């Protein structure tokens, strides 16, 4: 039974990874409409996130961009052998961003970014077939990034700054597949942690050999999210010496992996801009999760995850239709970091294709309205999680998963 508890608690850190391994990238409406390209696209203060080296190339002295997206996600699970079927509630989250940049002189600029790259939620039906693995997860995270950008010569620039990450997570699951109290209520545990605060950094470079061609690269460091004195709360526990579960605290640590993005953009036929990015996330840093329980009766635990490095390939195009309207479209292919045998329903993350579109409406010389839409289709997958144990025996949980995500977004840009 203690092994069951340990496997229940490890999903705290899995939930944090959930928004990285399964996250929908939504760090700017202009960039998202172009397939989330941006490491070599100079169009707004969204560069604070995508490549701070580009801020010094912006034409206006002051640039401010802000926006929000609505994420409408659905996951369905089916196991025909056992007649099991479940769907997540149509979970909705609203990731947002705010960027600002200031051009100090011809070679120096400063920026600030506040954005939510790790905010998400998943809720399954009560007592579904996989409730011993997860009932619901909710993750909230905010990144704050001050930035500096500077030129070296006419063609080369660099930029970067520290990243302050702060967040919280809440996770609930049943203790096992059968345990109930005397009234028949399923025994469950809720994991909750707030005030998870850590530091990272980012650095970027940009090379512009001609007015038409831009080449960019950006690196974002690993951030180790360390949980201290998180709360584990147990409910509907039968009064028995065989089930001595008591509320306790725990410490845990999980790496948010480093990533690098390289790409280019090319302006052609005056009104057209093409962009291509490759993003590589170093998920192999997530080898296992270590749990340290304050209750000495519960042994510490190691749980292998063995994620693999994964890449995203992004394509985008922009067309200046008129002085008032700028149109955009894009596509990206996102590889899953989850290996065979490690596919858990709290991280239903498989290969996906993202289709994007959007536009900017120029309202006068200083104000723009940015809109985007993303349809993210995950490849249907037959997969299993093989590392759940009950009564000392492995009890794999598998089936067929289907995922779809719809994301409309709206933003504004102010420049002067």
**Mean pLDDT calculated for residue range 1-10:** 37
Highest average pLDDT, of 11-15, 105-109, 117-121, comes from 105-109
Q: Which residue in the block uniquely carries the two structure tokens 């990533």?
A: 259
Check pLDDT > 50 for residue 351: yes
Q: Which of 407, 36, 391, 404 is nearest to 178 (CA)?
A: 391
Check pLDDT > 50 for residue 27: yes
With a CB cutoff of 8 Å and minimum separation 6, the contacts of 206 are 40, 51, 53, 54, 57, 156, 157, 158, 159, 214, 215, 216, 217
* Residue 323 belongs to domain spanning: 2-415
* pLDDT on residue 89: 67
pLDDT tens readout for residues 367-377: 999 999 999 88
- Give how far Cα 403 sits from Cα of 69, 90, 123, 290, 326, Å: 19, 11, 14, 29, 31
Say how far apart CA 409 and CA 94 lie, in whole Å.
9
Domains held by the chain: number: 1
Check pLDDT > 60 for residue 355: yes
Residue 19: pLDDT band (50, 70, 90) is very low
Residue 32: pLDDT band (50, 70, 90) is very high
pLDDT tens readout for residues 230-262: 888 888 988 877 777 788 888 877 788 899 999
Say how far apart CA 200 and CA 196 lie, in whole Å.
13
Say how far apart CA 264 and CA 34 lie, in whole Å.
13
Q: Is 59 left (phi over 0), alpha (psi -120 to 50) or beta?
A: alpha
* pLDDT on residue 13: 34
Q: Phi first, then psi: give them for residue 406, nearest 5 degrees.
A: -115, 130
pTM of this prediction exceeds 0.85: yes
The lowest-confidence range among 48-52, 61-65, 181-185 is: 181-185
Give the domain CATH number at 67: 2.40.160.60
Q: Which of 261, 114, 129, 249 is nearest to 192 (CA)?
A: 249
Residue 298: pLDDT band (50, 70, 90) is low
Check pLDDT > 80 for residue 21: no
Give the Cβ contact number of residue 94 at 10 Å.
12
- What is the percentage of the chain residues whose pLDDT exceeds 90? 46
Residue 71: pLDDT band (50, 70, 90) is confident
């Amino acid at each position: 039974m203690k092994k069951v508890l340990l496997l229940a608690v490890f999903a705290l850190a899995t939930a944090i990874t959930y928004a990285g391994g399964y996250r929908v990238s939504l760090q700017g409406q202009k960039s998202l409409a172009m397939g989330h390209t941006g490491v070599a696209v100079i169009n707004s203060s969204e560069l604070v996130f995508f490549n701070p080296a580009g801020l010094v190339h912006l034409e206006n002295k002051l640039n401010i961009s802000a926006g929000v997206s609505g994420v409408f996600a659905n996951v369905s699970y089916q196991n025909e052998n056992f007649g099991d079927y479940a769907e997540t509630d149509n979970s909705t989250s609203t990731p947002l961003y705010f960027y600002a940049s200031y051009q100090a002189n011809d070679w120096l600029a400063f920026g600030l970014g506040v954005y939510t790259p790790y905010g998400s939620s998943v809720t399954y039906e009560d007592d579904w077939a996989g409730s011993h693995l997860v009932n619901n997860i909710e993750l909230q995270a905010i990144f704050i990034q001050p930035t500096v950008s500077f030129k070296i010569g006419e063609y080369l620039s660099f930029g970067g700054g520290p990243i302050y990450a702060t967040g919280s997570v809440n996770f609930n699951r049943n203790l096992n597949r059968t345990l109930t109290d005397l009234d028949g209520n399923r025994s469950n545990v809720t994991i909750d942690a707030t005030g998870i605060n850590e530091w990272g950094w980012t650095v970027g470079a940009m090379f512009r050999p001609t007015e038409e061609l831009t080449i960019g690269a950006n690196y974002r460091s690993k951030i180790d999210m360390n949980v201290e004195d998180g709360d584990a709360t147990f409910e509907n526990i039968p009064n028995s010496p065989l089930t001595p579960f008591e509320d306790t605290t725990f410490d845990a640590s999980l790496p948010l992996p480093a990533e690098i993005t390289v790409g280019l953009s090319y302006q052609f036929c005056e009104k057209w801009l093409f962009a291509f990015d490759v993003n590589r996330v170093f998920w192999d840093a997530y080898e296992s999760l270590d749990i340290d329980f304050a209750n000495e009766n519960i042994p510490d635990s190691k749980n292998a995850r063995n994620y693999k490095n994964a890449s995203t390939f992004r394509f985008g195009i922009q067309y200046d239709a008129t002085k008032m309207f700028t149109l955009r479209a894009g596509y990206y292919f996102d590889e899953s970091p989850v290996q065979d045998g490690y596919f858990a329903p709290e991280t239903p993350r498989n290969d996906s294709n993202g289709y994007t579109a959007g536009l900017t409406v120029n309202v006068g010389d200083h104000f723009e309205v940015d809109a985007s839409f993303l349809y993210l289709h995950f490849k249907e997958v037959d997969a299993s999680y093989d590392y759940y144990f009950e009564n000392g025996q492995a009890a794999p949980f598998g089936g067929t998963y289907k995922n779809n995500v719809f994301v409309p977004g709206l933003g504004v840009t102010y420049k002067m």
